Structure 1
Amino acid sequence: MRTALFLLLLLALAAVPGSLVPQHLSDPNGVTQYQLDHPTLYPILDKLQLFDTYSSVWFSAIYLLLFVSLVGCIIPRVKHHVDAMMAKPPKTPVRLNRMAGFRSTTAPEGTDAAAAVAEARKILAAQGYRTALFEGPRGEKSVSAERGYLRETGNLVFHIALLGILIVVGIGSSFGWTAQRIVTVGQTFVDTSVNLDSFNPGRWVTGENLPPYSVTVKKLAVEYESANKNALGQPLDYDASVTATKSDGTSYDAHIKVNHPLRIDGTSVYLLGNGYSPVLTFRNAKGEVVASGPTPFLAEDANMTSQGVIKVTDGLKKQLGIAGVFMPTAGRAANGQLVSSYPGLKNPRVSLTVYSGNLGLDKGVPQSVYELNTDHLTQIAGPGVKSSPALDLGVGETAKLPGGLGTVTFDRVERYASLDIHHDPTQGWVLVFAILILGGLLTSLFVPRRRMWVKAKPDAAGQVTLEYAGLARGEDPRLDEAVEALASAHAASLPDARSVGELNNSKA
């Protein structure tokens, strides 16, 4: 048992890195950003498998050892508990005056020892005790009683349920999956692996058997604190209004909020975050539209200063790669750099750094839409280019692209919702085992394991002395009170019984 407790503590400590650094399974974009922000530290942590904490070798080793330890702990305890429940209560001790709550009183004249013990047995049985009668060498009659087996039952239920959680979590990680998708307001995504920004399947999951439902984001309402200057810009509420269409074609409207996911076709769709998608239109030198549409920009700070990448592959003399910075409320920091001073749309502007050349898309090698590889590109506008600074645009403004390539227009700003999709086939079982763990723990804490004895000792003159005592397994602060209540109830049930106040109680 000590080994199991130590391993449980070790497992809790081993899980800490999973909350300190992003995980490939739940936040692949966060892992990519961590790699960019910490190029020296990332390879070390990656070698230690900290970005895959819950599937790492060291975490799995602790997990399996805890599993084996719990099995080795539970099996002998179950056998011992069953044997204890099948056995009759232990024999009455010879000297009850050594036990807790000892009381002794003289029974009314004419009381029969056997009858007195039989009456005590009825009282104990009515209180839920298992009882057994015994007879001493000098004619003493006694009843031995025990109850509180539910305490150990609760303890075993707790450990078995903990073992059950370990099993179903392991099953869930093999047959479950997670995915992420950024959806601009007005757009629809279908739950297929090719339509997801990232897809992290369990060991026994393929992308071919996902439920093909669809979700359309109709509106995204975001409320920020604007009255309290000390909390200016703090998000107060997120609410995504969506239309969900199940695999069978049934459609319905729903809302996705923080801690209020959309449940559809066995998956849970969470609103993980939100941001802005500037709508930019590119035209060639003839004024023809060659590219237009919203592009999600990823937030870099609490005021939604965001970065994004736009790739214009066709329609211009050269392919363009554009690194943009979007500011919903544009302002300048102390160093003169453009930043956003508020997360709401009060003065939206976008700053574009333009590169030209070969984007490398023709090679068939997949590229991230959020990254721009500039190894084979030439910067033609932005910091470091004297002839053409960065293109700084407000809504409705148009700027010329360097080299007479055409123009770019900042049309408007759309919002996007960052959705996190989870499928866990063992959620219901985890809930059941969690309830059993809580119930077993409460039972083991509040149900006392207790033994009680009543002994009738006749003397040569026929006078009967009654003795009462108890014994607790573990802490039982109400044991003395229970013994006193038993003595009072027993005295009241005897023929010609005296009141409780006349009992001659004495403690050894």
Structure 2
Amino acid sequence: MTITAPPREAATPPPPAGPPAARRLGGLLLRQWRRLTAMRTAIVLLFLLALAAIPGSLLPQRSLSQSAVSRYFADNPTLAPLLDRLYLFDVFSSPWFAAVYLLLFVSLIGCVLPRALEHARALRTPPPPAPRRLTQLPDSTRLATTLPPAAALDAVEEELRVRRYRVVRRDREGSAELSAEKGVLKETGNLVFHLALVALLLGLAGGKLWGYEGSILVPEGQRFCNSFQQYDTHSAGAMVDSGDLTPLCVGLEDFRATYEEDLTAASFTADITHGGPGEEGESTTIGVNDPLRVDGDRVYVTGHGFVPRFTVTLPDGTTFDDVSAPFLPTEQSTMASEGALKLPDLGAGAEDQLALQGFLAPTGLVQGGILTSIDPRPLAPQVALVAYRGYLGLDSGLPQSVYSLDASQIERDRLTEVGRANLSAGETMTLPDGTTVTFNGVSEFAAMQFSHDPGQLWVLGAAVAVLAGLLGMLLLRRERVFLRAAPAPGDGGTVLDVGALTRGSGDGAPRFAALTDDLRAVLATRADSRTTRAPSGAAPETGGAPA
């Protein structure tokens, strides 16, 4: 007996030891992308962005006040350098804040755009077919009517369309059914909300990058031009340089402040002229909530104060007539103000300089030799002056305020007090060397802010869209109603199985009960109307041949 060996099967190649490196890398990137574009990640990043902004509100920022940052370094010489390494004095331009901001943008866009495309397809998709077992839906019931199936569905379809449902009728396996839905715009409101939130963040970012603002005190009769060199304080976006500023000059002609009976400020109005450099300009009036708007730029009145005016006469007869400097208010209720007037050009020597440091009371009252202000209106202006002579340090290269004296010059005896007095308008103080200082009275200044924000209209439109989307999310309900008609056994008529599914609301059962009650009433009314009409060609109930 010969034994034949079975045929040998062809050898199959062994499976690959693992996916290629490119496939592994692609899978890893896809997983990370899905994780980044998840809504949970967007919420976490939004929370981190709010958390990252906290140091910017607690610590001074270089973009807002370099002098405040310098004072913080002087007061905290050990801690400030460490915070500076972490960009905590430049929070909103720091790399880590920009990273969180950009990740939030990518997450929101990657999350919302696919949902928007899917929702656009869903808007064109008819309502889905009715489930096979309507009794398994959260709300279901059965309605009976004497109408045939087609007429019953006609009555129900008409009622649902009146209620703004989208309705589709189908025949499945010999049964007539109806699918209806409404509230699809609830998801539209959700998407509009998130897309508008992205647009809002983009508008804010664009406004910060290409926007700028500056603040300045403008005395009556003077003007300023839109230049970083003229502003007292200014801030600008990273994409702005001095050549991008709008060529606009504003002059203050007159300022008026009105007060209530309790002496609280009621309104500030300023008569100004505005135009390009070298132009005479147009006249207009602006207020706190009524700024000047020119080509997207705005000029606001943010406050006011007083400018004391002096006449200084030197022993040799040289007169400096009507010199002045703004005094900054220290009490808003009485407009008591403090300031300094620096006169560095009184003589040829560096040590021959004069400074007047004072306290201004718009309506002054001297009690016990101390000047106080009792009214914010300039009814009886008085000033308490202290005169210093010496070196002001204006050419030292160190920054100092134009509204106060450098205290270090007084402490180092570079400025020496040479006189003090309380003066009313028209009174004169004489210094030991024969120099006279006459208080001429006060005029007013307006604190103005120039603002350029190219993203303002974008932010406004996005904010309105956010509100509209939020209202759509809160007020609309996603509802689906399904009906299946079957002939009633026995005496004819129709049995309607009704089911409903309501999402995003806890009052689905009462709404379904109200809907079925209305459908039952519609079916009954339609059945009654059919029975009251005699069929065509039929004999009346009393007998006899048809007419």
Query: TM (normalized to structure 1)?
Result: 0.83
Structure number, greater radius of gyration: 2
**Helix, strand or coil for the counterpart of 2:243?**
helix
2:219 to 180, 184, 189: 184
**Helix, strand or coil for the counterpart of 1:193?**
coil
Counterpart CA distance in 1 for 2:341 and 2:328 is 12
Counterpart CA distance in 2 for 1:223 and 1:37 is 38
The aligned residue for residue 116 of structure 2 is 78
Counterpart CA distance in 1 for 2:285 and 2:70 is 34
The aligned residue for residue 482 of structure 1 is 515
Q: What code does the residue aligned with 1:327 have?
A: A
The aligned residue for residue 205 of structure 1 is 240
**Helix, strand or coil for the counterpart of 1:480?**
helix
Counterpart CA distance in 2 for 1:328 and 1:458 is 95
Q: What code does the residue aligned with 1:370 have?
A: Y
The aligned residue for residue 391 of structure 1 is 421
**Helix, strand or coil for the counterpart of 2:202?**
helix
**Helix, strand or coil for the counterpart of 2:196?**
helix
1:443 aligns with 2:472: yes
1:235 to 265, 287, 303: 265
State the Cα distance separating 1:367 from its structure 2 match.
4.7
Counterpart CA distance in 1 for 2:77 and 2:283 is 43
**Which range moved further: 140-149 or 238-247?**
238-247
1:128 aligns with 2:164: yes
State the Cα distance separating 1:421 from its structure 2 match.
0.9
State the Cα distance separating 1:122 from its structure 2 match.
4.6
Equivalence map 1:462-501=2 (5 Å): 462-475=492-505, 477=507, 478-493=511-526, 496=529
Q: What code does the residue aligned with 2:355 have?
A: G
Change (3 A) 1:14 1:493: farther
**Which range moved further: 152-161 or 37-46?**
37-46
Aligned identity (percent) is 35
State the Cα distance separating 1:351 from its structure 2 match.
2.4
Counterpart CA distance in 1 for 2:241 and 2:512 is 60
Change (3 A) 1:329 1:39: farther
1:370 aligns with 2:410: no
State the Cα distance separating 1:98 from its structure 2 match.
4.3
Equivalence map 1:157-172=2 (5 Å): 157-172=192-207
Counterpart CA distance in 2 for 1:70 and 1:115 is 49
Counterpart CA distance in 1 for 2:443 and 2:56 is 33
1:273 aligns with 2:309: no
Counterpart CA distance in 1 for 2:423 and 2:72 is 28
**Helix, strand or coil for the counterpart of 1:275?**
strand
**Helix, strand or coil for the counterpart of 1:81?**
helix
Q: Does the CA contact (< 8 Å) of 1:319 and 1:357 recur in 2? A: yes
Aligned residues, how many? 480
Q: Does the CA contact (< 8 Å) of 1:193 and 1:208 recur in 2? A: no
Change (3 A) 1:269 1:62: same
Q: Does the CA contact (< 8 Å) of 1:313 and 1:320 recur in 2? A: yes
The aligned residue for residue 350 of structure 1 is 383
Change (3 A) 1:313 1:88: same
1:234-263, Cα deviation, whole Å (9 max, x unpaired) = 222212222223579584332222222111
**Which range moved further: 424-433 or 123-132?**
123-132
Counterpart CA distance in 2 for 1:55 and 1:183 is 31
Q: Which runs of 5+ in 2 are unaligned?
A: 1-38, 533-547
Q: Does the CA contact (< 8 Å) of 1:491 and 1:498 recur in 2? A: no
Q: What code does the residue aligned with 2:501 have?
A: L
1:311 aligns with 2:342: yes
Change (3 A) 1:191 1:330: same
The aligned residue for residue 87 of structure 1 is 125
Counterpart CA distance in 2 for 1:304 and 1:414 is 13
1:341 aligns with 2:379: no
Counterpart CA distance in 1 for 2:116 and 2:270 is 51
2:249 to 211, 214, 230: 214
Q: Does the CA contact (< 8 Å) of 1:92 and 1:144 recur in 2? A: yes
1:431 aligns with 2:460: yes
Q: Does the CA contact (< 8 Å) of 1:145 and 1:451 recur in 2? A: yes
**Which range moved further: 323-332 or 11-20?**
11-20
**Helix, strand or coil for the counterpart of 1:241?**
strand
The aligned residue for residue 261 of structure 1 is 291
Q: Does the CA contact (< 8 Å) of 1:291 and 1:312 recur in 2? A: no
State the Cα distance separating 1:291 from its structure 2 match.
6.0
1:285 aligns with 2:315: yes
State the Cα distance separating 1:357 from its structure 2 match.
2.6
Q: Does the CA contact (< 8 Å) of 2:346 and 2:354 recur in 1? A: no
Counterpart CA distance in 2 for 1:314 and 1:185 is 24
Q: Does the CA contact (< 8 Å) of 1:278 and 1:410 recur in 2? A: yes
The aligned residue for residue 142 of structure 1 is 177
Change (3 A) 1:328 1:42: farther
**Helix, strand or coil for the counterpart of 1:158?**
helix
Counterpart CA distance in 1 for 2:96 and 2:331 is 34
Counterpart CA distance in 2 for 1:99 and 1:322 is 86
Q: What code does the residue aligned with 2:353 have?
A: Q
**Helix, strand or coil for the counterpart of 1:75?**
helix
**Helix, strand or coil for the counterpart of 2:414?**
strand
**Helix, strand or coil for the counterpart of 2:465?**
helix
1:67 to 95, 100, 105: 105
The aligned residue for residue 416 of structure 2 is 380
Counterpart CA distance in 2 for 1:308 and 1:359 is 15
Task: Give the alignment's Cα RMSD to 1 decimal.
Answer: 3.4
Q: Does the CA contact (< 8 Å) of 1:271 and 1:419 recur in 2? A: yes
Change (3 A) 1:241 1:49: farther
**Which range moved further: 45-54 or 95-104?**
45-54
Q: Does the CA contact (< 8 Å) of 1:243 and 1:254 recur in 2? A: yes
Q: What code does the residue aligned with 1:191 have?
A: N
Counterpart CA distance in 1 for 2:343 and 2:142 is 98
Change (3 A) 1:44 1:306: farther
**Which range moved further: 460-469 or 272-281?**
460-469
Q: Does the CA contact (< 8 Å) of 2:298 and 2:450 recur in 1? A: yes
Change (3 A) 1:348 1:214: same
**Helix, strand or coil for the counterpart of 1:192?**
coil
2:441 to 412, 437, 443: 412
Counterpart CA distance in 1 for 2:382 and 2:434 is 22
**Helix, strand or coil for the counterpart of 1:457?**
strand
Q: Does the CA contact (< 8 Å) of 2:336 and 2:361 recur in 1? A: yes
Change (3 A) 1:319 1:155: same
**Helix, strand or coil for the counterpart of 1:91?**
coil
**Helix, strand or coil for the counterpart of 1:429?**
helix
Counterpart CA distance in 1 for 2:513 and 2:88 is 55
Counterpart CA distance in 2 for 1:291 and 1:34 is 38
Q: What code does the residue aligned with 2:188 have?
A: T
1:270-311, Cα deviation, whole Å (9 max, x unpaired) = 111111111112111022214642211111222222221222
Query: TM (normalized to structure 2)?
Result: 0.77
The aligned residue for residue 355 of structure 2 is 321
1:443-498, Cα deviation, whole Å (9 max, x unpaired) = 12212211011211224544421232321111063343234334433554458558
